[in-house]
């Protein structure tokens, strides 16, 4: 990969993961799990993949953006085995209290999205239902060959997680996007946007911070878990050059890049002491300033676009100035403690009998909390044949498990 290299930034961590070059056999995928906030048609890609793999589709919704009820009705014609869930605040869920979240709560670094919560809820549901292999798929990812998801799952016998190569728009932070587009040597890494997970083997969780997927595949006291990559998906384009995006990403980018800096040197994640983080924060500042200079010297950009990218880099620099070595050390220690806490939580879940879909959905709510609004359906072979012949009038078996008191039940299409 060509491009300008710098002593203050590692443009690739590719050597840390195992590339699968030989042909992979296909295995059963239990579920595709989609955390979603975009319009419902963006679920069609995941639905198509779930149909091709004959696996469950789970969609996790943010009330106010999308609703489980609307998704259940929209996806009905696909004749899928389907679970749709409205995801409330973490305090209402059967999730352990996490020190990483407490550390950032009420500060400028607190994460404002619910992506990590949704992914953790998907993990919890997978354990309750005893699924073995699941694929996390974002709603802005396109899957040219659904068989690649199955091939990725086939590697889970020897790897805790397997990412799919991401084409299309690169999956990077704002700073790394600016570096690449200014001529820098910048690769991508595996990510939660298209990630096959061995549910039984991987007992990690997604912390509430940018780059949560990097931390998911990390053992905070040692190093990277066994991770591979195979296949290809495509990321839809988005605008990385927003100051608010730059500010929201900076702490997670610092922590991930600073930890992987150690791994690139064959050191442990736990080697990140105050001296390391003091040195790395200085490197990060020099790197962003270098990228800003590269952007400012670009003659192929319109002045307004050059100014917009510079403003985003300045926002990252200002947020970087608020990050201390002590905060970095505290977060990584909290992450290690939270990974132990998560494993204890999962062991307690798995000591209980396997639950039915309906019982598992009820069990996702915390003690004393109202059940989540959720909808399930089971397809039949007749319905799948009808859908394959492009007949949208399928006979539905949509089941309302729970719904808010002020929300009417989703209408059920008439039988054909």
Written as one string, the DSSP assignment of 207-276 is -SSTTHHHHHTB-TTS-B--EEEEEEEEEPP-----HHHHHHHHHHHHHHHHHHHHHHTT--GGG--HHH
Residue 67 lies in a domain: yes
pLDDT number for residue 44: 97
* Model confidence, pTM: 0.91
Ramachandran angles phi, psi of 32, nearest 5°: -105, 125
Question: Could you tell me the two tokens for 392?
Answer: 């949208």
Would you state the structure tokens that stand for residue 299, as one six-digit string?
């003659």
Q: In the numeric block, which tokens belong to residue 262?
A: 């150690």
Whether 416 maps to a domain, the answer reads: no
> Within 13 Å of residue 405, how many CA atoms lie on the same side as its CB?
1
How many C-beta atoms surround the C-beta of residue 85 within 10 A? Answer: 25
Structurally, the chain folds into a number of domains equal to 1
Q: pLDDT at position 25, please?
A: 78
Residue 381 has which token pair?
């072979």
Q: What single-letter DSSP state applies at residue 4?
A: B
Query: How far is it, in rounded angstroms, from Cα 136 to Cα 162?
Result: 10
Q: List C-alpha distances in Å: 364 to 118, 197, 355.
A: 12, 20, 11
CA 35 from centroid of its chain's CA atoms: 8
pLDDT for residue 271: 95
Are 1 and 185 contacting, i.e. CB atoms less than 8 angstroms apart?
yes
- Confirm whether 77 is domain-assigned: yes
Q: Are strands 374-377 and 82-86 parallel, antiparallel or unpaired?
A: antiparallel
Q: How far is CA 286 from CA 6, 289, 312, in A?
A: 10, 5, 16
d(CA 135, CA 123): 10
- In-domain check, residue 391: no
- The residue written with tokens 């890609």 in the block is 45
Q: What is the CATH number of the domain that holds 84?
A: 3.90.550
**Tens digits of pLDDT across the chain (416 residues):** 578 999 999 999 989 988 776 556 788 999 999 999 999 999 999 999 999 999 999 999 998 899 999 999 999 989 899 999 999 999 999 999 999 999 999 999 999 999 999 999 999 999 999 999 999 999 999 999 999 999 999 999 889 999 999 999 998 999 999 999 999 999 999 899 999 999 988 879 999 999 999 999 999 988 999 999 999 999 999 999 999 999 999 999 999 999 999 999 999 999 999 999 999 999 999 999 999 999 999 999 999 999 999 999 999 999 999 999 999 999 999 999 999 999 999 999 999 999 999 999 999 999 999 999 999 998 755 455 454 544 333 334 455 656 544 444 433 333 32
328 within some domain? yes
Question: Across the strands, what pairs with 196?
Answer: 135, 162
Please give the residue range of the domain that contains residue 133. Answer: 14-351
| Residue 118 near residue 367 (C-beta atoms within 8 A) | no
Report which secondary-structure segment, H or E, holds 278.
helix 274-296
- How high is the pLDDT of residue 146? 96
The secondary structure of the chain in percent helix, strand, coil, rounded to multiples of 5, reads 45, 15, 40
Task: Give the pLDDT score at 203.
Answer: 76
3-state secondary structure (DSSP) of residue 352 = coil
Tell me, yes or no, whether 29 lies in a domain: yes
User: Torsion angle of alpha carbons 181, 183, 186, 187, nearest 10°?
Assistant: 70
- Whether 4 is in a domain gets the answer no
């Amino acid at each position: 990969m060509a491009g300008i290299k710098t002593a203050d930034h590692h443009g690739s961590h590719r050597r840390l993961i195992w590339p699968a070059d030989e042909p992979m056999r296909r295995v059963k995928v239990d579920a595709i799990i989609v955390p979603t906030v975009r319009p419902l048609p963006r679920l069609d890609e995941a639905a198509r993949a779930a149909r091709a793999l004959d696996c469950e589709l789970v969609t996790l919704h943010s009330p106010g953006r999308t609703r489980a009820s609307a998704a259940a009705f929209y996806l009905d014609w696909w004749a899928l085995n389907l679970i749709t869930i409205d995801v409330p605040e973490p305090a209402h869920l059967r999730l352990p209290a996490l020190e990483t979240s407490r550390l950032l709560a009420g500060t400028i670094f607190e994460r404002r999205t619910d992506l990590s919560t949704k992914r953790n809820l998907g993990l919890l549901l997978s354990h309750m239902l005893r699924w073995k292999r699941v694929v996390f798929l974002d709603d802005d990812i396109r899957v040219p060959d659904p068989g690649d998801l199955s091939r990725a799952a086939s590697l889970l016998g020897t790897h805790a997680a397997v990412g799919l190569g991401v084409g299309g728009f690169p999956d990077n932070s704002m700073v790394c996007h600016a570096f690449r587009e200014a001529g820098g040597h910048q690769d991508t890494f595996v990510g939660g946007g298209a990630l096959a997970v061995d549910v039984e083997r991987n007992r990690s969780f997604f912390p509430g911070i940018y780059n949560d997927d990097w931390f998911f595949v990390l053992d905070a006291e040692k190093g990277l878990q066994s991770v591979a990559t195979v296949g290809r998906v495509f990321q839809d384009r988005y605008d990385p050059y927003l100051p608010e995006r730059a500010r929201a990403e900076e702490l997670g980018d610092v922590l991930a890049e600073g930890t992987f800096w150690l791994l690139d040197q064959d050191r442990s994640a736990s080697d990140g002491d105050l001296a390391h983080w003091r040195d790395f924060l200085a490197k990060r500042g020099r790197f962003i300033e270098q990228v800003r200079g590269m952007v400012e010297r670009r003659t192929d950009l319109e002045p307004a676009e050059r100014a917009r990218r510079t403003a985003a880099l300045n926002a990252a620099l200002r947020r970087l100035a608020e990050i201390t070595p002590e905060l970095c050390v505290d977060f990584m220690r909290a992450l290690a403690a939270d990974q132990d806490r998560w494993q204890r939580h999962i062991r307690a879940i798995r000591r209980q009998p396997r639950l039915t879909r309906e019982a598992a959905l009820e069990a996702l709510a915390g003690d004393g909390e109202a059940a989540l609004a959720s909808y399930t359906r089971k397809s039949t072979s007749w319905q799948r044949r009808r859908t394959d012949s492009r007949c949208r009038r399928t006979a539905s078996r949509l089941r309302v498990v729970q719904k808010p008191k002020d929300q009417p039940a989703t209408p059920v299409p008439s039988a054909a």
